[in-house]
Structure 1
């Protein structure tokens, strides 16, 4: 290492190094920096759910020099062994291994918990982690129902924990720049907004018979509070997101990311009413339960927002596979993960040529979280639990409108809809001896 490089690292806060360089830090350099961190300053991470985004979140968080993985938990021995091998490549520390998340929460070396499990587990694991005195990084959507989301907000407040949701777009500079432009007033009055995801390349999920539980899988723990069912590979691992017991389909998978940006840009709260249409149009006979085609319309009083998703094609609105549109009287701002632009209305404002994204949102997001874990300044979180709750609730409202086939309005004081069938979908019934958290 050069002398200038040594001086730079020596005179720069470790978190600042991670924040400024992100993935540019070579792993060997990162490992050498970690060795200089005092044991008293290290932050122990416990990961619950090791396969998909949980692993991505951990890998990203370990780029912050103060962090170390001290514990991992998963219900699948195959995934555990795979990820332990992956972890050994980036960290010499061997973590404690669990298949029951409650035992991980008893580990006093765990300061921070990553919840990377299917949606139906988020509420229990996040609230239990808060009660155990841990700070939490929870994957999106915050939970699988409106009532669970509300309890998670209460738990974070009750136990005074730092909770960040994995809506990492909020940490990307081009999203911040686009929202600033929206709020500058240059677009004029914005009465219409759009969000969409056209997931081209999807294929049918074939109907398959139930089968024995794979070796090394604790299927009872995987089900947790969800309805007891025979094992079926279609409902396991990645595919869980297409079944109501565990998730909400594309609306809660992608919708929370995109709708979140509209709520931020418009400084909006809960919608006055929601109506939706959708169903199994693209693959009518496949195994999925959630809609493969859906259109939802939200009325916020002073503007409307639409959500569309379609598994049939990757050519979406404005010729963008996914995106957000703020449609103002002076022009339209278009935005997605790749960048943003402004298209003027009859030359009322200057066009803004496409501004490309140049940073790593996930690394910025996890670095922000660890910084707040250290500072205890909750106001610095890029996606605090309250913000994550707002968009999760909006997304669940869209699904509830589609499932009931009725226009629904939310009564905040009564915590219910004006349609009885919709209200029945607000609060889940926990199964298998698990208790729904209530605060």
Structure 2
């Protein structure tokens, strides 16, 4: 494909090979069992395999006739670790091609679809380049690291006609859907407030650490990519990149996209009229984190208010739950999280809408991958549980909350124009700054 030549560059080829078959066969995925043939097989290349990228590989391998043909990571130690773990699963790893530069992986003709599990600041470029290379894409959330990136990612999917699923796997989990159907039934009465929250007690603010040499086997220039050129610091690497504005948006974009997503689904809402946010580094003001450890954002909609509330380092969240969504209606409140959902009736309500706790009973990530591979085979984007449009919409909402916090202003959103009514804010925050010779493609 001629479009590949626009971005494929030379990089170190770590190992050669071809596909290998999944060692997982699960009756839950029997609906995909078709005659095993090269024409039916979906070959996956994974870009960024340290965290959710690895979780996605394991979920993908549970779907029959799905194979991993390539792995890519800028950290050679991570590649070696994953190859060893795959070998422990009794999978023949001799045929897996490994790369440090994702663009070389995209040039591998055998790859049908790619996983993008890299830090957030890479998602847009890699998803767009993958579509240009004729690949379908499973992109981790948040899909974009700016509002403009989200918009261009949607345009790229539409232009190149690829199947693109956002990694918001809760959309494939049964009890989340059941809860939203109950919200839509009207039994809660008028819903005036929706609360979404995440209290992350298993993670503490970062201790400051000095800059250090780049670890052996890491291509740090490729890790930085379009982000600002800075000395290597372990706090900014791997998991904890989330707490720095160069690469991500903190807890708001990490967990917020999951929970706010269902808040909007329950209310059948789109974009807010206005956004205001308050917060800061209150838990430990001298921590290394840039993003706030404590944040509350208020989104104004036509008939209800939406509240986002997060805290790092403590776990006593609303309703005794460390994360969740609460739909607060005249007759009762529905409380939903990854563990299940229940309805708390208003004491003076005569409608009797009490619903006992309904526990989660399935694996959302596995089902999300069934859904993605099904759409890859059907070539119908409308079959996806979380198409790129949905992922971009909720990532945009999370970005709005962060921009309100960073600017210190109450912001009004112009729905028709797709931008804030304050041009100064648009110039400063609507798009991410690209560095090191990278640029967001014009689609």
| TM-score normalised by the chain length of structure 1 | 0.92
Alignment deviations for residues 258-283 of structure 1 (CA, whole Å, 9 cap, x no partner): 00001111111111110010110001
Identify the residue that residue 92 of structure 1 maps to in structure 2: 92
1:20-59 paired onto structure 2 within 5 Å? 21=28, 37-59=36-58
* Cα distance in 2, alignment partners of residues 391 and 39 from structure 1: 37
> 1:338, 1:40 → 2: CA distance?
39
Q: Post-superposition shift, 1:20?
A: 5.8
Question: 2 CA distance for matches of 1:395 and 1:18?
Answer: 38
Match of 2:344 in 1: 343
Scaled by the length of structure 2, what TM-score is found? 0.91
Whole-Å Cα distance in 2 between the matches of residues 308 and 139 of structure 1?
Answer: 23
Equivalent residues of 2:43, 2:111 under 8 A apart = yes
Alignment deviations for residues 325-351 of structure 1 (CA, whole Å, 9 cap, x no partner): 011111110000000001111243320
Separation in 1, partners of 2:65, 2:343: 40
Match of 2:277 in 1: 276
What is residue 70 of structure 2 aligned with on the other side?
71
Tell me, in whole angstroms, the C-alpha distance in 2 between the residues paired with 1:281 and 1:98: 41
Task: Write the mapping of 1:27-426 to structure 2, written as runs, cut at 5 A.
Answer: 37-90=36-89, 91-93=91-93, 94-345=95-346, 346-347=348-349, 348-423=351-426, 424-426=428-430
Asked if 2 retains the 8 angstrom alpha-carbon contact of 1:324 and 1:334, the reply is yes
Q: What secondary structure does 2:192 align onto? A: strand
2: distance between equivalents of 1:422 and 1:330? 40
Q: What is the CA–CA distance in structure 1 between the aligned matches of 2:419 and 2:331, rounded to whole Å? A: 38
In structure 1, distance between residues paired with 2:264 and 2:242 = 24
Gaps of 5+ in 2: 1-23
Deviations 1:178-222 (A, max 9, x none): 000001111111111000001114323111111110111000000
Cα deviation digits, residues 42-67 of structure 1 (max 9, x gap): 11000000100001001101100110
> Alpha carbons of 1:18 and 1:397: their partners in 2 closer, same or farther (altered >3 Å)?
farther
Alignment partners' CA distance in 1, 2:442 and 2:27: 40
Aligned length: 415
Deviation at 1:353, TM superposition (A): 0.6
Distance 1:18 1:178, change over 3 A: farther
CA RMSD of aligned residues (A): 1.8
Contact 1:18–1:367 (8 Å) recurs in 2: no
1:48, 1:114 within 8 Å by CA — same for their partners in 2?
Answer: yes
Give the Å deviation of 1:154: 0.3
Q: 1:427 is matched with which residue?
A: 431
1:204 & 1:343 partners in 2: Cα distance? 34
Q: What is the CA-CA distance between 1:421 and the residue it aligns to?
A: 4.3
The whole-number CA distance in structure 1 between the counterparts of 2:130 and 2:70 is 14
**Secondary structure, in 3 states, of the residue corresponding to 1:275?**
strand
How much has 1:75 moved relative to structure 2?
A: 0.3
What is the Cα deviation at residue 19 of structure 1? Answer: 8.2
Match for residue 14 of structure 1?
A: none
SS of 1:393's equivalent in the other structure is: helix
Residue aligned with 1:263, SS: helix
CA contact (8 A) 2:368 2:385 kept: yes
What SS does structure 2 have at the residue aligned with 1:410? strand
Q: What are the Cα deviations for residues 203-255 of structure 1, in whole angstroms up to 9, with x where unaligned? A: 23111111110111000000000000010001000010000000000000000
Change in CA separation of 1:82 and 1:393 when aligned onto 2, cut-off 3 Å: same
